[in-house]
Amino acid sequence: MARVTLLYFASLRDAAGAASEPLETAAPDLVALYAEAQARHGFALPVERLRVAVDGAFADWRDAVRDGSEVAFIPPVSGG
Amino acid sequence: MARVTLLYFASLRDAAGAASEPLETAAPDLVALYAEAQARHGFALPVERLRVAVDGAFADWRDAVRDGSEVAFIPPVSGG
Amino acid sequence: MPSPRFRIADAPFDIAPLHARLQHERAGACASFEGRVRDHNDGRPVRGLRYEAYVELAEAEGARILDEALARFDILEACAVHRTGELAIGELAVWVGASAAHRDAAFEACRWIIDEVKARVPIWKHERYADGEADWLHPCQTDPSEP
Amino acid sequence: MPSPRFRIADAPFDIAPLHARLQHERAGACASFEGRVRDHNDGRPVRGLRYEAYVELAEAEGARILDEALARFDILEACAVHRTGELAIGELAVWVGASAAHRDAAFEACRWIIDEVKARVPIWKHERYADGEADWLHPCQTDPSEP
């Protein structure tokens, strides 16, 4: 089990009802971690349309979930 | 004979030693008028590299010389 | 320490210091871009909007874009700022500038930077429409209808 | 009467009112260009320069270029100013701006206007070099080494 903090932005935050949440998870990698959060909150965005960041840097979805890390799910951006 | 005022700019003005000069001319068209001024002042720029304006508007080199007009010889521009 | 080349601003910002940052004795050309809040998007009347950013990552990714632009184009300096928070119609949302000896590089770099910022920096736009609805914009790809 | 879209300025000019002129509720994008006096031209150190214009014709031809830009590109507004007189290194020589709903048109129009101004408007540059020489620039065609 790993303890992580999940960060939600934009429509994901609205759907989760929170900007962040602590989580204890057995998810082996970041894809599985998103699937877990998606199931719990009913996120409409499929993982293919998201990027993921760990501790403030873009990461690979196949990376393992590190204990103590902060994981951000990044919906499609719309700055500018 | 037509009385005209010639306007010189940039290197043409330096070569002519004046920004403008009154002239009485028998030149039939603007090309011939430039040839006259060129011969008198030794302008290095050939007519092919110039444009010509009459009374503040671009004109055609084959236009006749109009009595009382102001004729400007426009060397290659270099603004910007 | 000079100010960073890319910055998230949570309040209106001055462009004069950004222009000043681009000045350089060898700079003959400076191209800049302002993105402002329009009164419509995709034909729908817009009343106002809010930008939200993942600030830490946005500033890191923005800095990377500016570094890449300095390596990729023959420019002397470049910088950009993106707003977050509530913005009214006409307010400045993003500013990009690039200076170079020649105008080709200045224009190309400025255009490239705004395109990359829109595509890569974690910032999200929440639009409020005249009909009372509101929505997050999560474009499927770079949206050609965007300013 | 609004100020003309193209103007010759015989003294330093403010860009704030030019930016203000480009504002428009439907304008999401504004691209602008500044041309400044560089410290070198074609590898030769430059100490300063002077621009001279045939003002009457320059303002007429400049206005024509801006009108053509408004017809040719999907832009909302555009304007430009070109300096004459003595300019020091770093001084602003020319400013061009264009606003549009979308950034493509704003960038394209801004770039087109500066290219046309350089090619068509009767303004001449007289450069003073560090070695004491000075010369009028009469390029054979649009000089790719220009900023």
Q: Does D134 touch chain B (CB under 8 A)?
A: no
User: What sign results for the dihedral spanned by CA atoms D103, D105, D108, D109?
Assistant: negative
Q: In a 10 Å sphere around its CB, with 0-12 CB exposed, 13-18 middle and 19+ buried, how is residue A70 labelled? A: middle
- Tell me, yes or no, whether chains B and D touch by having 3 or more C-beta pairs under 8 A: yes
Cβ atoms within 10 Å of C54's Cβ, excluding its own: 22
Q: What's the domain range around C103? A: 18-141
Q: How far apart are CA C76 and CA B16, in angstroms?
A: 41
Q: Contact D33/C114, CB-based, under 8 Å?
A: no
pLDDT at C114 over 80: yes
The low-confidence residues of chain A, meaning pLDDT below 50, are: none
Confidence of residue D146 (pLDDT cuts 50, 70, 90): low
On whether residue D78 sits in a domain, the answer given is yes
Q: What per-residue confidence (pLDDT) applies to D83? A: 98
Facing D136 at nearest CB: one of B11, B79, B80: B11
Q: How far apart are CA D57 and CA C140, in angstroms?
A: 50
Q: What per-residue confidence (pLDDT) applies to C1? A: 57
Q: Does D20 touch chain B (CB under 8 A)?
A: no
The angle that helices D103-120 and D55-72 make with each other, rounded to 10 degrees, is 150
Sequential pLDDT tens for chain B (80 residues): 999 999 999 999 999 999 999 999 999 999 999 999 999 999 999 999 999 999 999 999 999 999 999 999 999 999 99
pLDDT digits over D47-96, tens only? 889 999 999 999 999 999 999 999 999 999 999 999 999 999 999 999 99
Q: Chains that contact B by 3+ CB pairs under 8 Å? A: D
On whether residue C8 sits in a domain, the answer given is no
pTM exceeds 0.90, yes or no: yes
Residue type at B30 in one-letter notation: L
Facing C124 at nearest CB: one of A10, A53, A72: A10
Measure A42 CA to nearest chain C CA, in Å.
16
Q: What per-residue confidence (pLDDT) applies to D145? A: 54
On whether residue D2 sits in a domain, the answer given is no
On whether residue C13 sits in a domain, the answer given is no
- Of the listed ranges C46-50, D10-14, D141-145, the least confidently predicted one is D141-145
- What average pLDDT is seen over chain D? 93
Q: What per-residue confidence (pLDDT) applies to D40? A: 86
On whether residue D107 sits in a domain, the answer given is yes
- If one counts the domains in chain D, the total is 1
On whether residue C23 sits in a domain, the answer given is yes
Facing D117 at nearest CB: one of B45, B75, B79: B79
Confidence of residue C140 (pLDDT cuts 50, 70, 90): confident
Measure B72 CA to nearest chain D CA, in Å.
9
Which residue matches tokens 């293919």?
A48
| CATH number for the domain that contains residue C110 | 3.90.1170.40
Q: Which helix (H) or strand (E) holds D88?
A: strand D85-88
On whether residue D38 sits in a domain, the answer given is yes
- Residues from chain D contacting residue B53 (CB–CB below 8 Å): 54, 57, 122
One-letter-per-residue 3-state SS of chain C:
CCCCCEEEECCCCCCHHHHHHHCCCCCCEEEEEEEECCCEECCEEEEEEEEEECHHHHHHHHHHHHHHHHHHCCEEEEEEEEECEEEECCCEEEEEEEEECCHHHHHHHHHHHHHHHHHHCCEEEEEEECCCCEEEECCCCCCCCCC
On whether residue D10 sits in a domain, the answer given is no
Confidence of residue C146 (pLDDT cuts 50, 70, 90): low
